[in-house]
Each structure stands twice: as structure tokens, then as C-alpha cells.
Amino acid sequence: MDDIEATIIQNKHIVSNYYTLKLRLSGSMGRVLPGQFVMLKIPGNEVFLRRPFSVYAYSNNTLTLMYRVVGKGTEILSKCPKNERTLVLGPLGNAFRIRKTDKYIVVAGGIGIAGVHTLIKRLGKKASIFYGCTNKEELSLINDMLHLNPMVSTLDGSCGFEGNVIALLGSYIESTKGEDRQIFVCGPAGMARNLRKLIEKDRTPCQVLVEERMACGLGLCFGCVIKTIDEKEPYKRACKEGPVFDLWEILL
Amino acid sequence: MGNLTVEFFEKTLRNPVMNASGTLGYGKEIEPLWGIETLGTYVTKGLSAKPHHGNPTPRVWEERNGMINSIGLQNIGVERFFDEYFPYFKKRKTPVIVNFFGFTEEEYLACAAKVKPDPFIVALEINLSCPNIKKGGISFGKEPGAVFEIVKHVKSVTKLPLIAKLTPEVRNIAEIAQAAHEGGADGLTLINTMPAAVVDVKSRNIPIKGGLSGPILKPIALRAVYECSKAVPIPIIGAGGIMNTEDAISFFMAGARAIQIGTATFVDPYAIPKIIRGIDEYLDAHGCSGIGDIVGIARDQ
Ligand SMILES: Cc1cc2nc3c(=O)[nH]c(=O)nc-3n(C[C@H](O)[C@H](O)[C@H](O)COP(=O)(O)OP(=O)(O)OC[C@H]3O[C@@H](n4cnc5c(N)ncnc54)[C@H](O)[C@@H]3O)c2cc1C
Ligand SMILES: Cc1cc2nc3c(=O)[nH]c(=O)nc-3n(C[C@H](O)[C@H](O)[C@H](O)COP(=O)(O)O)c2cc1C
Ligand code: FES
């Protein structure tokens, strides 16, 4: 892991407030595992701390991030031109742990797709993909995985199942009852909570990528904690012990 | 290469640069980037007699030129620190300053008493910013009488040198410095974070109240270093918003004999090694034989 100088080679608007950012790194990040993230220095002086982003793709010193504009930093980022210089600290955090099983289920909501993108690439056809977003337009975020036949839901019903993705997942969970499964999830906190209710009875093995406000991304400040069932030490750092946690070990 | 070593409480430190308490985890976390032996001494995360869970999230918030934290002093407790982490510092020949706190005087004393002198412990650093729960939450460090008392009592339970870390949230910091000195403090760290809050206009609430740190603190910290170093003869460690070599040098010139770097590490994880190198280069370029050549020179002008 290192703090690596990088140059923006593409900052592309996809749809509504979603963008992809391609960076050419001046050196190698080494091996990057699914679920890991980077701390990105937003160019300019207006943003004090760095921002965490999942590695959407990485190869040959080229890093791709997919981001959603939500506040000051991502707003500024969305306006950053090509050739702008920045810094990338990473790869950080613990990855998804893939164990041998019959069925892998990957569930993503909205920008959560960025967090599981490398995982989906790794699992390929072995994974059943569930993707939930607000409308048909946002489905362009998963254009590169249509060949994997993802099951989709839209909140406005403009494409696929109408409603949230956990409701859609419900019938699949029912139909694969008794099979050995492993679930991976990344999306809004409410999504993980609903998923938890859905699989509470069977306690299906499930890992979740959580998002917390971070200052350092390195485990230095204890700012990014998430509450867990560990009574002795309930607060675990999302950047250090996470961002991937066992769903059954955290309190959502 | 110049000479960066400094004498601190009869120990020779490699350089006068430390991390600020609570900003370098338990020490090991930075190892993927640089070795802990880079530091003059490592300052522990605030430790207490018993472990503390800390506050719920959000714990950090960004401000223009700074940040606010309300970690709530989460720590594994002083005993576990010495079992699990201290041997590692000894192995790496890196001395340690033990930052500690309590919410009652008994807790302060219990924690201080648990730290046994060791060649690799430079000093205890007492965090005086904690609310005194027995006195209705007024901070230990805000009143000269209370500072004098707590420092004196801690001194009676330890043989280690004691550094008092002061809060800037006082009317007259030099007066507090004097009280600490009279109570028996062997050094001062100036300053801790400043109480602050943010309003989230979108959600119309106050998502975080906590301590403000970063560049926004620098002028406040410099003033404290300047005034206290005139008021008391004990060594002063400057902290607050040091982001680069020039900031660091300004603290020495104001009267600090060592410095601590906190928030800068979050912005640039290499800030500490860069600043150490920068100080070295500065001393070389100005023909100084050591940091002593510039300590207090701006103050004494
Ligand atoms: C491990 C991890 C991976 C992430 N991966 C992605 C990704 O691939 N794509 C993407 O679009 N977003 C991702 N996020 C969320 C992203 O970090 C925030 O959306 C972003 O920091 C918001 O910054 P801002 O300046 O625009 O928002 P502001 O609200 O102006 O930011 C102010 C502060 O809030 C923090 N913050 C705000 N929203 C979030 C959030 N949802 N999660 C964590 N911190 C937040 C910021 O980091 C910053 O410290 C990830 C978060 C984490 C923790
Ligand atoms: C995340 C964080 C945690 C901190 N924890 C402690 C602590 O445990 N004990 C303490 O005395 N000061 C603590 N501080 C204060 C710092 O040690 C330092 O005094 C302050 O941040 C000012 O320096 P800076 O601007 O370089 O960060 C903490 C600061 C931050 C940002
Ligand atoms: S962001 Fe600092 S510990 Fe996780």
C-alpha cells in the first residue's frame, strides 16, 4: 500500500448523478482484492480530508472508480478535467472472503454496485446478481454485466421488478432453500437491514460492505467505526477491520 | 544531515517530532507506509484505567481547514496497551509517551499508577480536557486550582516525568500553565482540540459536537506556546494544525522544544516523515547545530 500520484485520464458522466473516473497511477498499487477501497485526494484546496471510494476496476496501473455526486467533494470531483493530478492511497481495508459453495448471490443497490463490481468480475457466471435502483436509466450502471443476466428491480417499476431489490431477492431465497449459499451485499444501510430480516431464520452466510465517514482510512483515528456484537470491543473500524463485515457480527 | 536529536527528561530522542495523541492509532497501523522508529517518540492514543467504548457515529466531520472529532476516547485500556503493544515499541527502539485520562480523579490516578517506569517510557502526558463527572462535567483543565491539584496528585503516584496537556478553552492559558508547573508538571503539551459543532443545513440538525483540529487551530496554538513558554521554565511541546515544515518551524520559533503532528497525517499519511526531513533541511540550510538554535527566537525578538 502506498500514496500514489495519479492523473485523471477520464471523468465520464454516466447517468443522473453517476460518474466513472479513470486514473493513471504513477506506480503500481499491487494486488487489489474485491471490496477494497482507496482514499482519494480531491484535486484543489477546497476539500480538506480525502474521500473513500471502492475500487471499481484496476489493472496495469489504471484505476477506475464509479461515484455518485452527493456533496461538496463529489461535486468538485465531477468537474475535474482530464490531466488533473491527484493522490490515491490504497488499496485499503479487508476484502470479501469467498468460500467454496454452490451458490454465490451478489446484491447491490444504487452506487453499491461500485463496491461489488470487482467481486462480480471475479465470480463471473458463478454468481446470481441482484441489482436495485430507482429507475430504468440507472440500469446503464450495469451495462457491462448484462451477459450475466442480473435480476433487476426499479423503485418506479420502469424496468424489471417494481419495488426494492430485497423484495425481489425474497422469492429467489425461497426457491433455493436448503442449498449452500453465500451472499455479498453493498448498498444503502436500509437494504442490509431488510436483507437481514429476510435471511434471519436461516442465518445464511452473508458479508456486507459498509460505508462510514472516514478521516484517515488507515485505522489511525477511530472515526469510522461500526457497532458489532462483540461486547468487549463493540466498535470496529470500517477502514481497518472492515469495510467488509460478516452481516451476523454487526449491529445495523 | 544536521543534528535533530533532542534531550527530553534525560533521554535522548532521535528528533523533536511526535504524533499527537489519538492520531496514529496504536502505532502499528502506520507501518505499511513508514516505520514507527521515524518518530522522536510515539505518543499513545489516550489510555484509561479501564477500556472505553467511545461514542456512536458520526465521529468525524470535515470543516473548512480542519475537522471535528468526537471519538469519545475509545481505547483498550492501559493494561492491554502494555501487554499487546508496548513490547513492539521496545523492539523497534522507539520510546513512548503515555497519554492518559479519566473522568474522575481516581481514574486518573489509577491509570497513572499502572504505568511502570521503563527505559522506553519518556513521560506520562495527562489529558486535562476531560469533563470531571463528579464536578458536574466541568473540565479538569479549565481552572488553575483544579489543574494544580490533579497534577500534584498524579505526581505522587508516579516516578515518571509528567507532561500536562492543556485545553485552549480557557481565559488565560499562561495561568493554567503556571498552575501545572507549580503542581509539579515537568513539561506541557499545547494544545488539545477546541470544542466545536456543525449544523447540517440539509437535515437541519447538529450531527456532531466535538473537538476541532487541523490548520484552523494553528494560530491559537502558536499564541499558547508563545505565552506559556514565557510564563514557565519547563519544556513545551507544540501541537495544533501543523501541516508542513514551515508550520513546524514556526512552533519552535514561538518557544516549543518539540512538536506533535495530528490531523496532518489524515490528509497526507507521510506528513510526519516529510516534516522531519524538512526540519533537518531547514537547520542545515541555516547553519544551525540543532533545534536549540531556533527555539524561542521569534518570541524573544
Ligand atoms: C469503504 C467505502 C467505499 C465507498 N465507495 C464508494 C464508491 O465506490 N462510490 C461512491 O460514489 N461512493 C462511495 N463511498 C461513499 C463516498 O465516500 C461518499 O459518497 C463521499 O465521501 C461523499 O463525499 P462528498 O464530499 O461528496 O460528501 P459530503 O457530504 O460533502 O462529505 C462530507 C463528509 O462526509 C463523508 N461522507 C458523506 N457521505 C458518505 C458516505 N455515504 N459514506 C462515507 N462517508 C460519507 C465524506 O467522506 C466526508 O468526510 C464509499 C464509502 C466508503 C466508506
Ligand atoms: C481523531 C483524534 C483523536 C484524538 N484523541 C486524543 C486523545 O486521545 N488524547 C488527547 O490528549 N488528544 C487527542 N486528540 C487531540 C490531538 O492530540 C491534538 O492535540 C489536536 O488534534 C491538535 O493537533 P492537530 O491539529 O495537529 O491535529 C485527538 C485528535 C484527533 C483529531
Ligand atoms: S477512518 Fe480513521 S480509523 Fe477509519
> So what's the ipTM on this one?
0.96
pLDDT of residue B1: 59
Q: CA nearest B194: which of B229, B221, B174? A: B221
b/e string for B111-124 if b means 16 or more Cβ within 10 A? bbebbeeeebbbbb
Report yes or no: A214 at the B interface, CB cutoff 8 Å.
Answer: yes
Nearest ligand by distance to the CA of B244: 2
Average pLDDT score over chain A = 95
CB contact under 8 A, A216 and B269: yes
Q: CA nearest A35: which of A140, A120, A149? A: A120
Tell me the pLDDT band of A110, cut-offs 50, 70 and 90: very high
Q: Catalogue the active-site residues of B.
A: 130
Average pLDDT score over chain B = 96
Q: CA nearest B207: which of B56, B105, B77? A: B56
CA distance A12 to A81: 10
Give every CB contact of residue B87 below 8 A, 6+ residues apart in sequence. Answer: none
Q: What is the pLDDT of residues B174-212, one digit of tens each?
A: 999 999 999 999 999 999 999 999 999 999 999 999 999
Flag whether pLDDT at B2 surpasses 80: no
b/e string for B40-69 if b means 16 or more Cβ within 10 A? bbbbbbbbbbebbbbbebbbbbbeebbbbb
pTM for the complete prediction? 0.96
CA distance B282 to B288: 8
Gyration radius (Cα) of chain A, Å: 18
Q: What is the pLDDT of residues B108-146, one digit of tens each?
A: 999 999 999 999 999 999 999 998 888 888 889 999 999
Tell me the pLDDT band of B301, cut-offs 50, 70 and 90: confident
3-state secondary structure chain A: CEEEEEEEEEEEEEECCEEEEEEEECCCCCCCCCCCEEEEECCCCCCCCCEEEECCEEECCEEEEEEECCCHHHHHHHCCCCCCEEEEEEEECECCCCCCCCEEEEEEEHHHHHHHHHHHHHHHHHEEEEEEECCHHHHHHHHHHHHHCCEEEECCCCCCEECCHHHHHHHHHHHCCCCCEEEEEECCHHHHHHHHHHHCCCCCCEEEECCCCCCCCCCCCCCCEEEECCCCCCEEECCCCCEEEEHHHECC
CB contact under 8 A, A233 and B76: yes
CA distance B257 to A163: 63
Tell me how many degrees the CA angle B65-B70-B72 measures, rounded to the nearest 5.
Answer: 150
Q: What is the pLDDT of residues B74-94, one digit of tens each?
A: 999 999 999 999 999 999 999
Q: What is the pLDDT of residues B140-174, one digit of tens each?
A: 999 999 999 999 999 999 999 999 999 999 999 99
Cell of A205: 452466510
- Chain A contacts in chain B segment 78-137 (CB below 8 A): none
Measure B175 CA to nearest chain A CA, in Å.
31
**Candidate from A3, A220, A235 with C-beta closest to B24:** A220
Per the CB < 8 A criterion, the answer to whether B145 and B179 are in contact is yes
Q: Hey, of A225, A226, A230, A250, which one would you mutate to test binding to chain B, going by the most B CBs within 10 A of its CB?
A: A225
Ligand 2 pocket mutation pick from B45, B212, B213 by most atoms within 8 angstroms of CB: B213
Flag whether pLDDT at A153 surpasses 70: yes
pLDDT of residue A252: 83
Tell me the pLDDT band of A177, cut-offs 50, 70 and 90: confident
Cell of B286: 541555516
Tell me the pLDDT band of A108, cut-offs 50, 70 and 90: very high
Q: What is the pLDDT of residues A27-80, one digit of tens each?
A: 999 999 999 999 999 999 899 999 999 999 999 999 999 999 999 999 999 999
pLDDT of residue B137: 85
Cis peptide before B191 (omega within 30 of 0): yes
Percent of chain B at pLDDT > 90 equals 95
Cell 474521500 found at: A51
Query: DSSP class of residue B253?
Result: H
The residue among A179 and B99 whose pLDDT is bigger is B99
pLDDT of residue A102: 81
pLDDT of residue B282: 97
CB contact under 8 A, B29 and A218: yes
In 10 A of CB B153, how many CB atoms? 16
pLDDT of residue A154: 94
Query: DSSP class of residue B274?
Result: H
Per the CB < 8 A criterion, the answer to whether A97 and A64 are in contact is no
Residue B35: is it exposed, middle or buried by C-beta count within 10 angstroms (0-12/13-18/19+)? exposed
Percent of chain A at pLDDT > 70 equals 100
CA distance B186 to B121: 14
Instruction: Order across the sheet with A2-15: list the strands.
Output: A51-54, A37-41, A85-92, A2-15, A18-25, A62-68, A57-59
pLDDT of residue A46: 92
